Amino acid sequence: MPNRRNAIYALLIFCLVMGLVTGRSFFFNLSYLFAALMILSFVLSWTAVNWVRVSRQTRARRAQVGKTLDEQFTVRNSSLIPKLWLEARDHSDVPGHNPSTVVPMLLPMASYRWTTQTVCIVRGEFTLGPLTLISGDPFGLFQVTRHIDATSRVLIYPATVPIYNFAAPSGLLSGGDAQRQRAHFVTTNAAGIREYEPGDSFNRIHWKSSARKDRLLVKEFELDPLADIWMFLDISASSVFERPYSAEGLPMEEFYIPPSSVEYAIVIAASLAQYFLIKERALGFVTYNPHRTVMQPDRGNRQLTRILEALTVAKSETPLTCDQLIALEAHHMARGTTVVIITADPTDDWIREATLLVRRGLRTIAVVLDPVSFGASARSADETQLLLEANGVITYVVRQGDNLTAAMSQR
């Protein structure tokens, strides 16, 4: 394109020189023609990217690995000048997401739409946009770009796999029978309603009953008869084992877990959170990702969303080891609580901490990722499993390449 312009410039100068030398109007007319061509080409190229409206609609700002991210783009020509050609380049950093396209000729006031469906292959928080519009004149002399800086954020949750028969907490009611004890704080068990008293919080008012009875009534709560479940996720730097891989090399057509102990641990944590919350159990969550993240036990989709959001941006940068995580966060848990530990740590330190939990009366379940299967020269998970089960810890072993549904549904 610069070569074409240089050729026109050279012809323009040549015609002007010949016109001055010979005095013939033919050369002056040619120089005027080339000058008019340059001006017309510049004006057409400038108008080609202006008076253009671009809209971008993302179906949802949250997606999940293995599912699709859907977007619809609309380019509208809001001028009376047709746009002969237009290229829209997208600069999103979502792996595998490339909605860039070449827009065909747009007549005045016409629009063009296209949609994209991208299979999400990597968890994380990513940016959609910005966009760059590129166009030029019909003669190919000028190319003009226009940057559209509008951006938005999208969260891609980690994948989850179905789990059918994970080790259940001891007994049908792991915390005992319903205690029928009133609680002064809000719990997951509403026991009834009573008259409003001064000092009651507004969030305890039962508005439907108050409207029906024409007086303020508040909800009463009982202590939860089911023991809480706490999930401890260890993704410390000392527990990271992985084989070389890149996001660009991951298969796009199906769900795939990268060969990393961190990615396996996160998928397992997300799947177990979904499993327990579907069963309406109160689930708490603890990890350092790398900052301390503690979620008190709760039920429902809101708790699952909070856990998935924490797992989405989790990074294995904390120096806090698995045994330190257990020692710091499990000291306040009451007898009968179920603790699920997910780690690839091959050392004995966290095994001693897990044994102490069993001696304190906590039901302890360990999901051990075999570091050897991820290419590490460490102790096999089979030896770790023998030590844990000898001390009363229910143990699941997961290796790289395992079917997680089968591996986590063995009991």
Q: 176 lies in a domain?
A: no
- What is the span of the domain harbouring residue 85? 52-157
pLDDT at res. 108: 92
Residues 9 and 143 in one domain: no
Kindly state whether residue 259 falls inside one of the protein's structural domains.
yes
pLDDT single digits (tens) 368-379:
999 999 988 888
CA distance 324 to 322: 5
Q: What is the pLDDT of residues 39-51, one digit of tens each?
A: 888 888 898 899 9
End-to-end CA, the chain: 68
Can you name the residues that pair with 77 across neighbouring β-strands? Answer: 52
Please check whether residues 377 and 247 belong to one and the same domain: yes
355 and 308 assigned to the same domain? yes
Structure confidence by residue, pLDDT tens digits, 184-240: 555 556 667 888 888 777 778 888 888 888 888 888 766 555 678 999 999 998 899
Residues 372 and 315 in one domain: yes
Do 69 and 80 sit in the same domain of this protein?
yes
Q: Are residues 283 and 387 in the same domain?
A: yes
For residue 104, what is the domain's CATH number? Answer: 2.60.40.10
Does residue 17 lie in a domain region?
Answer: yes
pLDDT tens string 62-81? 999 989 999 999 999 999 98
Residue 12 is assigned to a structural domain of this protein: yes
Look at residue 171 and tell me if it is in a domain: no
- Which pLDDT score, from 0 to 100, does residue 388 have? 94
Q: Please count the structural domains in the chain.
A: 4
Q: Do 33 and 75 fall within a single domain?
A: no
Same-domain status, 137 and 203: no
Q: Do residues 216 and 290 both lie within one domain?
A: no
Q: pLDDT by residue (tens digit) across 13-35?
A: 888 888 888 888 888 888 888 88
Among 171, 202, 222, residue at a domain's last position: 222
Q: 3-state SS string over the chain?
A: CHHHHHHHHHHHHHHHHHHHHHCCHHHHHHHHHHHHHHHHHHHHHHHHHCCEEEEEEECCCEEECCCEEEEEEEEEECCCCCECCEEEEECCCCCCCCCCEEECCECCCCEEEEEEEEECCCCEEEEECCEEEEEECCCCCCEEEEEECCCEEEEEECCCCCCCCCCCCCCCCCCCCCCCCEECCCCCEEEEEEECCCCCCHHHECHHHHHHHCCCEEEEEECCCCCCEEEEECCCHHHCCECCCCHHHCCCCCCCCCCEHHHHHHHHHHHHHHHHHHCCCCEEEEEECCCEEEEEEECCHHHHHHHHHHHHCCCCCCCCCHHHHHHHHCCCCCCCCEEEEEECCCCCHHHHHHHHHHHCCCEEEEEEECHHHHCCCCCCHHHHHHHHHHCCCEEEEECCCCCHHHHCCCC
β-sheet with 217-222: strand ranges across: 182-183, 217-222, 189-195
Give the predicted TM-score (pTM) of the model: 0.80
Residues 254 and 339 in one domain: yes
Residue 164 belongs to a domain: no
The reply to whether 165 falls in a domain is no
Query: Does the residue 170 lie in any domain?
Result: no
In this structure, are 106 and 138 located in the same domain?
yes
Same-domain pairing of 285 and 304: yes
